[in-house]
Amino acid sequence: MIICKRCIVRGKVQGVFYRATAQQQALKSGVSGYAKNIFDGSVEVMACGEPNAVEMFCAWLWQGPELAEVNIVECESLISESANGFLTL
């Protein structure tokens, strides 16, 4: 079973290698999807994969890279999409 979650990560998450680090973490976890900057300073993350892997990755979003200061992570479940790899947009 594959699940997908779309998350918005708010705080100091742009200009701190958040997307690149999320990509590394996702690929290590077997999660596909993307991470992209949003005009309001937040980062949008799509994560698809095995339920346990997606949940662990979404928990990691609260941590992020060393320079990040995550204040809020809002996630919603989506109908499974067939994504391969993990992109930074």
Catalytic residue among 37, 52, 71, 84: 37
37 is catalytic: yes
For residue 49, with 0-12 CB atoms within 10 Å meaning exposed, 13-18 middle and 19 or more buried, which class applies? Answer: buried
Structure tokens at 51: 């339920």
- Is residue 84 annotated as part of the catalytic site, yes or no? no
| The one catalytic residue among 10, 19, 52, 71 | 19
Cα 66 from Cα 84, distance rounded (Å): 27
Catalytic residues: 19, 37
